[in-house]
């Protein structure tokens, strides 16, 4: 019987060592430890042996069973490790494989111009003031010398939220808020959306962008305004461009001007883009009306101010040769990706 036990152990060791998967290991386990195994048969014959031998053989058989169990347990662990390694190998990430290039978006041309102008003014000591698109009637009109029944309101008809709240028709509302919050000297800009009840066409949109400029100090003159605007336009459209200022009317400036830049397409000769005039209107401005200064708490006998409001869409169209305003709002990727 001893020989048999040794043989079983030897056979099992060889067989189990060759096993590479759980299924075969299960069959080996049944074969060597199951109900119909040689070991089970030997256990049964124990009963027939004389007592002394029974004890010795019993011990040997128990030892054999323990060893077989251990062999199977070890193999089971080996297989687990092998499976894990295979899984890790199959899931390995090759960090050296070149990745697909990531497509970055581009800045919208209106944002490019806005950012450029903000940088231009901030570099020259202006502070940037943020305002809300929703404004009160007071800041949008009343405090800018446009009382309730003033005809100028009609030109800037807008979306009323209630009788005292509107979507701002211009960024000029920020002039008043700034003057109320700080004493001169003031050099401020504010940029953002403005809204008017305009029909959409090639040059109009009910939502558009403006940049507001306000300077309040002692001895500020119209020459400062013209010089500032000329510097700005040359910065944006190149040294060769020129600007012309015409007398105009705004209730919040006296005197008031409107300024045009030389048409970049025809250089003043006259073309469809400038409707034959050679110039394109880009802004309104003037010397801040003393009434507006006073209403905002600024002493108009000591301080003067100049202000201007510039339409950004116009500048984008001029700078990049966009002939239809609607192209700027359609978010056509083919148009936008040109602005890297
Ligand atoms: N707010 C005017 C508009 O939207 C433009 C304007 C005119 C702005 C005169 C000013 C200004 O600051 O002084 O048509």
119-151: per-residue pLDDT in tens? Answer: 999 999 999 999 999 999 999 999 999 988 888
Give the per-residue pLDDT at 17: 92
What's the rounded Cα separation, in Å, for the pair 340 and 335? 11
Give the per-residue pLDDT at 100: 86
The two three-digit tokens of residue 98, written as one number: 């070149």
Q: Which residues have a Cβ under 8 Å from the Cβ of 169 and sit 6 or more positions away?
A: 140, 156, 157, 158, 194, 195, 196
Cis ω before 185 (30° cut-off from 0): yes
Asked if pLDDT for residue 3 goes beyond 90, the answer is: no
What ranges make up the beta strands (E) of the chain?
127-128, 134-136, 160-162, 165-167, 186-195, 207-217, 243-250, 253-262, 279-288, 304-311
Cα 104 to chain centroid, rounded: 11
* Per-residue pLDDT tens digits for 149-189: 888 777 777 889 998 999 999 999 999 999 999 999 999 99
Ligand 1 pocket, residue 170 CB under 6 Å: yes
Q: Tell me the best of 309, 310, 314 to mutate to test the pocket of ligand 1, counting ligand atoms within 8 Å of each CB and taking the most.
A: 309
* Per-residue pLDDT tens digits for 288-326: 999 999 999 999 999 999 999 999 999 999 999 888 889
- CATH fold of 109-336: BirA Bifunctional Protein; domain 2 (3.30.930)
Greater confidence (95 vs 301) lies with 301
* Per-residue pLDDT tens digits for 210-269: 999 999 999 999 999 999 999 999 999 999 999 999 999 999 999 999 999 999 889 999
Query: What residues does each domain of the chain span?
Result: 2-90, 109-336
Q: Which residues have a Cβ under 8 Å from the Cβ of 205 and sit 6 or more positions away?
A: 198, 313, 325, 326, 329
Q: Confidence band (pLDDT; 50, 70, 90) for 52?
A: confident
Q: How does DSSP classify residue 204?
A: B
Ligand 1 pocket, residue 284 CB under 6 Å: yes
| pLDDT over 70 percentage in the chain | 100
Ligand 1 pocket, residue 311 CB under 6 Å: no
In the sheet that holds 134-136, the strands lie side by side as: 134-136, 165-167, 160-162
| Residue at token pair 């004389």 | 50
Ligand 1 pocket, residue 250 CB under 6 Å: yes
* Per-residue pLDDT tens digits for 26-46: 999 999 999 988 888 888 888
Residue 288 CA: which ligand 1 atom is closest?
13
List the beta bridge partners of residue 189.
128, 213
| pLDDT over 90 percentage in the chain | 69
């Amino acid at each position: 019987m001893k020989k048999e036990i040794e043989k079983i152990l030897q056979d099992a060791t060889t067989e189990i060592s060759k096993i590479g998967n759980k299924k075969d290991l299960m069959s080996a386990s049944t074969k060597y430890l199951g109900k119909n195994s040689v070991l089970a048969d030997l256990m049964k014959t124990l009963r027939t042996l004389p007592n002394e031998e029974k004890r010795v053989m019993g011990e040997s058989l128990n030892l054999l069973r323990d060893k077989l169990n251990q062999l199977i347990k070890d193999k089971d662990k080996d297989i687990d490790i092998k499976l894990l390694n295979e899984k890790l190998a199959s899931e390995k990430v090759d960090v050296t494989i070149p990745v697909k290039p990531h497509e970055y978006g581009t800045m919208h041309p209106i944002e490019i111009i806005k950012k450029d102008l903000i940088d231009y003014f901030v570099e020259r000591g202006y502070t940037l003031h943020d305002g809300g698109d929703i404004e009160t009637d007071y800041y949008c009109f009343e405090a800018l010398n446009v009382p309730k029944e003033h005809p100028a309101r009609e030109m800037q008809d807008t979306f009323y939220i209630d009788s005292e709240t509107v979507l701002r028709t211009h960024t000029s509302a920020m002039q008043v808020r700034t003057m109320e919050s700080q004493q001169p000297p003031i050099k401020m800009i504010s940029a953002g959306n403005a809204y008017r009840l305009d029909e959409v066409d090639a040059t109009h949109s009910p939502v558009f962008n403006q940049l507001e400029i306000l300077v309040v100090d002692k001895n500020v003159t119209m020459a400062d305004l013209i010089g500032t605007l000329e510097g700005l336009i040359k910065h944006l459209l190149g040294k060769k461009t020129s600007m012309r200022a015409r007398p105009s009317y705004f209730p919040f400036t006296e005197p008031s001007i409107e300024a045009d830049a030389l048409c970049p397409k025809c250089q003043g000769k006259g073309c469809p883009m400038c409707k034959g005039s050679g110039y394109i209107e880009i802004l309104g401005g003037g010397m801040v009306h003393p009434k507006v200064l006073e209403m905002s708490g600024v002493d108009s006998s000591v301080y003067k101010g100049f202000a201007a409001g510039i339409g950004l869409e116009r500048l984008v169209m001029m700078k990049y040769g966009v002939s239809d305003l609607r192209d700027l709002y359609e978010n056509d990727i083919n148009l936008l990706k040109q602005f890297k």
